Structure 1
Amino acid sequence: MRRSRRDLVPVPGHAPSLWAATDFSDQTSWAVDLTGDEQRAIAHYARHPQDGDLRLTLSHSASTWLDMLVEGPGFVLVRGFPVHTLALEHIEPAYLALGRLIGSLEGQDRQGSLTTHIRDERLPAGPGVRRYQTSQNQDFHSDASDVVGLLCLRPAKSGGLSRIISAHAVYNEMLRRDRDLTSLLLEPFPWSRHTERRPGESPYFELAPIAFVHGMPRISIIPWFIRQSQAHPAAPRLNPDQLAALDLMEEVMALPDLQVVMDFQPGDLQLLNNTTVLHARDAYEDHSDPALRRHLVRLWLTVASPVAERVLSGQA
């Protein structure tokens, strides 16, 4: 059902997905440490996956993380994944097994890759190079999954802070500032497909940045994908009002008082409810030694538990 500006109402103030940075006075409300037994279980599974099942040790903790994702603020930082003691070929299987405790693994590209390595690939600038393959900043955006995980293997020499923000707080502030511009974002905007394009497929697609699912707003946004659609002559032209609406969203997402900032350390695993939380990354300076360069591993998950289905769809 199409909504008019008169139909738009703020997300209720009691919603756990509606928060600002001031709601979290310290990290204890969103950061948890793996116990020694949990770390040993992960390390053992990584080297001997045929010998064990992480559910025996980690099912209770994973349930707590899921509660924080779907019934709490929508994010959690899990610290202590034993990256220091494991080779990369052992880290990935254990990481995937941990992800399966929360949801179903989801492919991230046309090839169905279950992990994506987030690092500066030192590639020449061009339309086929994605921002996560560079050291540039990534503005606030959403990913195409219920939950997104980022496991830090190595941080940058400097910079690269992770920033997250409540999508519902963004929506409410946009409504407060300009209801008419906000309503424009419920209509389809053109997005560039970049390299994710099948043979014969259009170089762009259309998607509304804001959609309502069971009465709750969901923001799907990668601002630079929308702006870069204008490089394709066949894509619909963005009119001044649409550009102003996009500017408004970016202006609100840039408000420091709404942002929670995380400085990743090796073994940190950030999990985000991608339907209620937007994330960004600061630009960074990396080490000259390739073995020391910033390296994160991304995971996409579909969450199918009854509680998660209700909350992620906006029914709770």
Structure 2
Amino acid sequence: MMPARIEGKAVWKGPEVDYRAEMMHRFSDAEVAEIDAALKACGERDIPDITADTFVLPTMGPTMRRLRGELLDGRGVVLMRGFPRERYSADDMARIYVGLGAQFGQPVSQSWQGQLLGSVIDISDVVEKVRGYNAGGGQNFHIDGSACDIVALMCLRSAKAGGASRIVSVAALHNAMLDSRPDLLETLYRGYYHRNHEMDALHSLMPVQSDHRLPFLSQRDGRVTCLASGCIRYAVQYGGVTMSPLEVEAYDEWQRLARSEEFFLDMNFEEGDIQFLNNRSIMHARTDYEDHDPVARRRHMLRLWLRVPEWPAREPNQIWMNEIDCRHWQDKNRTPFMELPSRYLAELTATQEQRQRDRTVLKPDVPSGKYPSARGWQEAREAAKVDA
């Protein structure tokens, strides 16, 4: 059966949207004062202890519920701007961020390390084998793990230049492919095999790799959801999966449309900005950027993955990373206060300075340009066999 066309506010094209008018909430003085009071009442709680009950926002509650509704059935994007970043320490900003996020949903851990608050910062010259969010340069379009419904970013420190958030409507891409290449759209609905990242797999309770294809796209109740994570690439490169020419073409065409100026929207970050995205219906990427050398001065975004129990559940066959593993990682590997920026940056600064003294600084990694086509995943796998 041919997929249905998606209608409504979720279908948008970047050049046709003024995000400052349609996607932005600017903090009022009264809201800043209420948040400040909530921070003082919250005290120095650890991240898991910051909830809607401990970070109380009595008059902002209806506003936050309205914005959460906009994420589900509106544009799928909310940018909160105007919070006075300069008045607060990095750790206070982290607690404020988690407190606001808790009004939307429940934080879940983002990797085997169990962190509830991630740091998106380039540390590829300091730490070996980093994930994409800890490497520099641009990023390709993707959706984060299926365990979360909302992905959020707070700009703690901006780059020297560049580093805009690039977002795109899944519904708009879906309709465009329905019009131009319904055969490829059918392939995306059929889906791809998935495999966990190496370290996540070592600490996972679930199978390392799926034994069946998971739909790249799924549709229910007039909403379309997407599952476009790096787990597809891991299955090809490390799990021995071979994509057919049609599967490669479908994936590449989807990415080509997303990268087209007809569809994407660039959203610049100011320090203190908080961006919330519907992780089912909005794909995100990042433009290239120029950064500072000291780790403590580099572009630094804080990331939350939020699960929203009040939202309709994802289709069961479109879940790979799940809350069972997220809870397991948190219980087993998370340590108290591990995510606070002051502690995180102090440890990284010490490592960077030691590498500089030892002359063991690593070559920075910019992964986004490695695979212009999904065909390159299989080529890299075969090349690795030859080298071995």
Match of 1:209 in 2: 216
Q: For 1:297 and 1:48, locate their aligned partners in 2 and report how far apart those are by CA, in whole Å.
A: 22
C-alpha deviation, 1:72, in angstroms: 1.4
C-alpha deviation, 1:214, in angstroms: 4.1
Alignment pair present for 1:265 and 2:270: yes
Distance 1:26 1:192, change over 3 A: closer
Question: Are the aligned partners of 2:110 and 2:305 in contact in 1 as well (CA < 8 Å)?
Answer: yes
Equivalent of 2:2 in 7, 19, 22: 7
Alignment pair present for 1:179 and 2:182: yes
Q: For 1:18 and 1:198, locate their aligned partners in 2 and report how far apart those are by CA, in whole Å.
A: 39
C-alpha deviation, 1:286, in angstroms: 0.3
Distance 1:216 1:98, change over 3 A: closer
Distance 1:40 1:215, change over 3 A: closer
Q: For 2:104 and 2:19, locate their aligned partners in 1 and report how far apart those are by CA, in whole Å.
A: 25
Q: For 2:243 and 2:19, locate their aligned partners in 1 and report how far apart those are by CA, in whole Å.
A: 42
Deviations 1:122-146 (A, max 9, x none): 34797x4211101121111112321
Which AA in structure 1 matches 2:296?
A
Match of 2:35 in 1: 42
Q: For 2:286 and 2:196, locate their aligned partners in 1 and report how far apart those are by CA, in whole Å.
A: 21
Distance 1:210 1:147, change over 3 A: same
Equivalent of 1:227 in 220, 225, 233: 233
Alignment pair present for 1:135 and 2:136: yes
Match of 1:3 in 2: none
Distance 1:111 1:227, change over 3 A: closer
Equivalent positions of 1:286-305 (< 5 A) are 286-305=291-310
TM-score normalised according to structure 2 size: 0.71
Alignment pair present for 1:24 and 2:17: yes
Deviations 1:17-54 (A, max 9, x none): 11112432461221121112222332343344159743
Q: For 2:71 and 2:255, locate their aligned partners in 1 and report how far apart those are by CA, in whole Å.
A: 24
Match of 2:257 in 1: 252
Q: For 2:127 and 2:86, locate their aligned partners in 1 and report how far apart those are by CA, in whole Å.
A: 33
- Let me know the Cα RMSD of the aligned residues: 2.5
Question: Are the aligned partners of 2:124 and 2:130 in contact in 1 as well (CA < 8 Å)?
Answer: no
C-alpha deviation, 1:116, in angstroms: 0.5
Match of 2:225 in 1: 218
Which AA in structure 2 matches 1:161?
A
More strand by share: 1
Match of 1:198 in 2: 202
SS of 1:299's equivalent in the other structure is strand
Distance 1:250 1:53, change over 3 A: closer
Q: For 1:259 and 1:269, locate their aligned partners in 2 and report how far apart those are by CA, in whole Å.
A: 19
How many matched pairs? 300
Question: Are the aligned partners of 2:76 and 2:277 in contact in 1 as well (CA < 8 Å)?
Answer: yes
Match of 2:244 in 1: 239
C-alpha deviation, 1:168, in angstroms: 0.5
Which AA in structure 1 matches 2:17?
F
Q: For 1:302 and 1:125, locate their aligned partners in 2 and report how far apart those are by CA, in whole Å.
A: 29
TM-score normalised according to structure 1 size: 0.86
Select between 21-30 and 112-121 the one with higher mean Cα deviation: 21-30
C-alpha deviation, 1:57, in angstroms: 3.7
C-alpha deviation, 1:111, in angstroms: 4.1
SS of 1:189's equivalent in the other structure is coil
| Identical aligned residues as a percent | 27
Equivalent of 2:110 in 93, 99, 108: 108
Match of 2:384 in 1: none
Match of 2:78 in 1: 76
Question: Are the aligned partners of 2:39 and 2:55 in contact in 1 as well (CA < 8 Å)?
Answer: no
Question: Are the aligned partners of 1:18 and 1:168 in contact in 2 as well (CA < 8 Å)?
Answer: yes
Match of 2:283 in 1: 278
C-alpha deviation, 1:174, in angstroms: 1.3
Which AA in structure 1 matches 2:136?
S
Question: Are the aligned partners of 1:10 and 1:172 in contact in 2 as well (CA < 8 Å)?
Answer: yes
Question: Are the aligned partners of 1:105 and 1:300 in contact in 2 as well (CA < 8 Å)?
Answer: yes
C-alpha deviation, 1:160, in angstroms: 0.8
Q: Structure 2: any 5+ residue segments left out of the alignment?
A: 45-53, 316-388
Q: For 1:190 and 1:53, locate their aligned partners in 2 and report how far apart those are by CA, in whole Å.
A: 40
Question: Are the aligned partners of 1:156 and 1:284 in contact in 2 as well (CA < 8 Å)?
Answer: yes
Q: Structure 1: any 5+ residue segments left out of the alignment?
A: 1-5
C-alpha deviation, 1:166, in angstroms: 0.7
Select between 67-76 and 237-246 the one with higher mean Cα deviation: 67-76
